[in-house]
Structure 1
Amino acid sequence: MTNPYRGRPDHCFWRQGVAERVAEGVDPVTAMPFSIAPGDAVATAGSCFAQHLSRHLAAQGFHALVTERFTGAAGTRDEGYGTFPARFGNIYTALQLRQLLERAYGLFRPQARAWALPGGGFADPFRPRIQQGGFPGIEALEEDRRRHLGAVRRMFEGCEVFVFTLGLTEGWVAAADGAAVPLHPGVLGVETPPGEWRFVNAGFAETLGHMEAFLEGFRSVNPRARVMLTVSPVPLVATGEDRHVLVSTVASKSVLRAVADELCRRDPGIAYFPSYEVVTGPQAGGRLFGEDLREVTPEGVAQVMALFRRHCLAGAPAGAAPPPMPARGEPPPPAAVSEEERARYRALTRVICDEEAIVMPVGVRGSGI
């Protein structure tokens, strides 16, 4: 019998595709179903990678779509605008994404209106950290929400490429109607009756179902848009399960990666970009994480963005090649990223991360991808 693996390209084999390429840099992208042109309106959403991507697109002269800008409306501050196309903050779970679209089109009207913050002011339960100190009153909050959901509709209907980074499977939902929020109100010091908010950890079938429902709704309002998925490599800052956070992290990321793979297998027009594999794969040896083993280093961001530019952006400047990965056991070479690049990527990694509020005071922002 003929060996079915004979004649396969080098990237199909671990030794040739990974082990022998560590020093020069492993490029796990073999093909993308589409590329992004400079004129394409690109909307980004999800976990922290989407924030890096939006800034990178703008820096390369591409069209990072923004549909909500600061207007000076009563009760609002110039905070949280431009991070994503609309001021929705991080969207960690597939359920949050699905409900964002449903709320924007009036298909789901959550009972939760506002959270009264202990220091005064009111937070929007569905984007609690877009504005430090919250809104001065519920009326101002709800008026801003009305404008915001209009901007969300313009984003969904006007984008030509939608990039979503799957971040978590764990989350909190209202016991009354299943409304998903990015943070438990208690993280912000908001007192709520026992049992009002319920912890959920979506498995493969549930996460896939939420993504299928979102894609069906999204394509009903924008049938021509292309979709790109990524998975955040940033570990959970804490787990709501009664088990080790490392076990919860691997379980959560495995579900998200499997869902992304299933969606791409079903629809060859959906692209997957392997930022997760670049940062967490054994070829990286953990060297693209900071001392906390959670924050992605400037070198890690540079690796991901250089590959994204090479494979996903049509007509983009070639730019520098991804910094080479040092041999196992050797420290990263000091010249891998210039000081100018390091400063720029340090600024890029100052991303909004709602999760950080679980373990650090509100107002302190961490970083991720």
Structure 2
Amino acid sequence: MRIRGFQVLDAEPPPPGLDTKAAQQFGFELYSARYGNVYTVRQLLQLIQECSGLRAPLVGVWEKDDRFYDALRPSVEPEGLYTPEAVAAHRSQHLERVRSMLERTDLLVFTLGLTEGWIHREDGTVYPTAPGTIVGSYDPASYAFKNFNYEEILQDFLELRSLLKTIKNDIRFILTVSPVPLTATASGAHVLAATVYSKSVLRAVAGYLATSFPDIDYFPSYEIIAGAPARGFFYESNLRSISAAGVDVVMRAFFRQHGGVDVNSADAPKTSNDDMRSALSGVDKINALQEAFCDDVLLEAFAP
């Protein structure tokens, strides 16, 4: 997108001197802030509420092997921190960066990824991973599985839209639905049925929002990849990962719809040959990054 002339915000850039591989292992250069994967609308809503001073999680720190982790983004510090206080200090700084990012955001692109999540029973905090998969431990008295329905997801998005309008009144939205199927489910259903349910609900919510509000658009990356006309061609052999060809087709369609300069035109941003090669070869790295930084892939390690 940067090569095409779009300004992509990065409110939490890596420290100077940190190479790209190391930076991404610590959650830098992957998102517009270092918030890790945001899979559900409720998770996004709670992040916005937290950086606005409207909520604080009752349990925000998880432990593993005498190291401490931010439960709301457990993978951004692979080795954890020494104390819960250090985690709290890091999160406070992170929330400040998220708030500053939202204050400058003209267009928020959000992919609706999952309906399933794990919540804290007492205060309803939604976590990006099940407690115990990366860090922490599962206590059924404290945590519960939650499968959000259409009405809940819709109301969550309406609430976060209203809240964001108080931060940046002219903010606009592009919604997509992830074409990546579930790798596991805690719903009790077969994972295929659980995937179809999840995608159907998320697509219905996105469709309603896009037809109901002029500041919300929908981009059909889900249909391009998962639709019957594609015949599964854009999936890798595991039928989950999106192929480089699929990513390329989706992005070409996106730029045809939403503009951006041609990378071969005289108006394209000036970049070095190395930058251009890196940008154009980036599609080939999508699957490696997706598998490395998609938290729910870790569920495969816990499958029987």
Q: TM-score, normalization: structure 2?
A: 0.87
Q: Deviation per CA, 1:276-299: give whole Å up to 9, x if none.
A: 000001111011101110000011
- Write out aligned runs for 1:259-278 (5 A): 259-278=205-224
Q: Partner of 1:159: helix, strand, or coil? A: coil
Shift of 1:69: 2.2
% identical aligned pairs: 36
Structure 1 residue corresponding to 2:284, chosen from 319, 323, 346: 346
Give ranges in structure 2 of 5+ residues lacking alignment.
Answer: 17-21, 266-276
Structure 2 residue corresponding to 1:85, chosen from 14, 28, 32: 32
- Write out aligned runs for 1:203-218 (5 A): 203-218=149-164
Shift of 1:221: 0.9
Q: Residues 264 and 318 (structure 1 numbering): CA distance in 2 closer, same or farther, change over 3 Å? A: farther
- The aligned amino acid for 2:3 is A
Higher helix share: 2
Q: Partner of 1:259: helix, strand, or coil? A: helix
* Kept after mapping to 2: 8 A contact 1:298/1:342: no
Q: May I ask how many residue pairs the two structures share in their alignment?
A: 281
Shift of 1:341: 9.0
* Kept after mapping to 1: 8 A contact 2:175/2:218: yes
Q: Partner of 2:252: helix, strand, or coil? A: helix
* Kept after mapping to 2: 8 A contact 1:89/1:127: yes
Q: Which residue of 1 aligns with 2:123?
A: 177
Which segment is superposed worse, 102-111 or 134-143? 134-143
Is 1:112 the equivalent of 2:90? no
Shift of 1:83: 1.0
- Write out aligned runs for 1:131-150 (5 A): 131-150=77-96
Is 1:97 the equivalent of 2:44? yes
Q: Which residue of 1 aligns with 2:274?
A: none
Higher relative contact order by CA 8 Å / sep ≥ 6: 1 or 2? 1
Q: Which residue of 2 aligns with 1:292?
A: 238
Shift of 1:136: 2.4
- The aligned amino acid for 1:62 is F
Q: Which residue of 1 aligns with 2:7?
A: 63
Give ranges in structure 1 of 5+ residues lacking alignment.
Answer: 1-56, 320-338, 362-369
* Kept after mapping to 2: 8 A contact 1:68/1:151: yes
Q: Which residue of 2 aligns with 1:355?
A: 296
- Write out aligned runs for 1:200-349 (5 A): 200-317=146-263, 343-349=281-287
Shift of 1:304: 0.4
Across the aligned residues of Structure 1 and Structure 2, the Cα RMSD in angstroms comes to 2.1
- The aligned amino acid for 2:165 is R
Is 1:160 the equivalent of 2:101? no
How far apart, in 2, do the equivalents of 1:315 and 1:104 lie?
Answer: 34
How far apart, in 2, do the equivalents of 1:267 and 1:209 lie?
Answer: 14
Q: TM-score, normalization: structure 1?
A: 0.72
* Kept after mapping to 1: 8 A contact 2:235/2:242: yes
Shift of 1:193: 3.0
* Kept after mapping to 1: 8 A contact 2:234/2:246: yes
How far apart, in 1, do the equivalents of 2:200 and 2:126 lie?
Answer: 21
Which segment is superposed worse, 304-313 or 245-254? 304-313
* Kept after mapping to 1: 8 A contact 2:5/2:261: no
Shift of 1:235: 0.3
How far apart, in 1, do the equivalents of 2:68 and 2:207 lie?
Answer: 39
Shift of 1:343: 4.8
How far apart, in 2, do the equivalents of 1:353 and 1:187 lie?
Answer: 13
* Kept after mapping to 2: 8 A contact 1:310/1:318: no
* Kept after mapping to 1: 8 A contact 2:60/2:72: no
Q: Which residue of 2 aligns with 1:327?
A: none
* Kept after mapping to 2: 8 A contact 1:104/1:149: yes
